[in-house]
């Protein structure tokens, strides 16, 4: 589902099934603020182009949401050679609930999903600017967390349990 932030080099993407809505805007906030369920991918600006962003040592993406969301992501590809690192954080109300740094000595498991619930997802890819040529590619799925059903189901289970207990007693 879009919005999808296409950063860096312009590429052609082919939709192989389903329906896509494409909105083109100069406002990057349209992609960086979650207001509904969304899935897609995120890449570094020059992923697999061999190009670098001059004099930039960090590529940061901060995705905020209007409430609690479950952020599920899996790293498909990342270049962690030559002192490059990838930091993934999920934050809830300014407190970190998930925070990990991958590098050459702490490699991620590719294609393995990780989930955390929060209000913000931060991605930071760092290294020497002339060595950040291959970048990263991450698939993600963001789903709004609805707390009401769990409270309701707990309430119903409690009422049924009390009713059964009372029926057994009398």
DSSP assignment of the chain, as one string?
-------SS-------SS-------S-THHHHEE-S-EEEEEE-TTTTTS---TT--EEEEEEEEEEEEEEEEEEEEE---TT-EEEEEEEETTEEEEEEEEBTTB---TT--EEEEEEEEEEEEES-GGG-SS-EEEEEEEEE---HHHHHHHHHHHHHHHHHHHHHH-
pLDDT above 90 coverage of the chain, percent: 36
Report how many domains make up the chain.
1
Domain with 73 in it: what CATH number? 2.60.120.290
Distance CA 23, CA 76 (A): 25
Looking at residue 135, its pLDDT comes to 86
Residue 70 lies in a domain: yes
Which one, of 129, 128, 125, lies nearest residue 137 by Cα?
A: 125
Average pLDDT over residues 32-47: 80
Between 129 and 156, the higher pLDDT residue: 129
Looking at residue 101, its pLDDT comes to 96
Residue 49 lies in a domain: yes
How do residues 77-127 score in pLDDT, each as one tens digit?
999 988 999 999 999 988 999 999 999 999 999 999 999 999 999 999 898
Distance CA 124, CA 101 (A): 9
* Domain membership of residue 35 as a residue range: 29-169
Residue 18 lies in a domain: no
Residue 10 lies in a domain: no
pLDDT band at 37 (very low <50, low <70, confident <90, very high): confident
Looking at residue 1, its pLDDT comes to 40
pLDDT band at 129 (very low <50, low <70, confident <90, very high): confident
Looking at residue 154, its pLDDT comes to 60
Per-residue pLDDT at 63 exceeds 90: no
pLDDT band at 2 (very low <50, low <70, confident <90, very high): very low
The single residue listed with the structure tokens 């009422």 is 159
């Amino acid at each position: 589902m879009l919005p999808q932030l296409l950063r860096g080099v312009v590429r052609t993407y082919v939709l192989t099934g389903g329906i896509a809505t494409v909105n083109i805007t100069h406002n990057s906030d349209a992609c960086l603020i979650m207001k509904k369920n969304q899935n897609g991918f995120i890449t570094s600006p020059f992923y697999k182009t061999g190009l670098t962003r001059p004099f930039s040592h960090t590529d940061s993406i901060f995705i905020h949401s209007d409430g609690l969301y479950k952020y599920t992501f899996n790293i498909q590809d990342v270049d962690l050679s030559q002192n490059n690192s990838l930091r993934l954080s999920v934050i809830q109300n300014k407190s970190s609930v998930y925070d990990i740094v991958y590098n050459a000595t702490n490699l991620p498991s590719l294609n393995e999903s990780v989930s955390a619930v929060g209000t913000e997802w931060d991605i930071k890819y760092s290294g020497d600017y002339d060595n950040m040529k291959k970048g990263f590619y991450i698939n993600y799925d963001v789903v709004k967390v609805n707390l009401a059903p769990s409270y309701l189901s707990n309430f119903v289970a409690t009422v049924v349990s009390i009713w059964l207990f009372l029926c057994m007693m009398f």
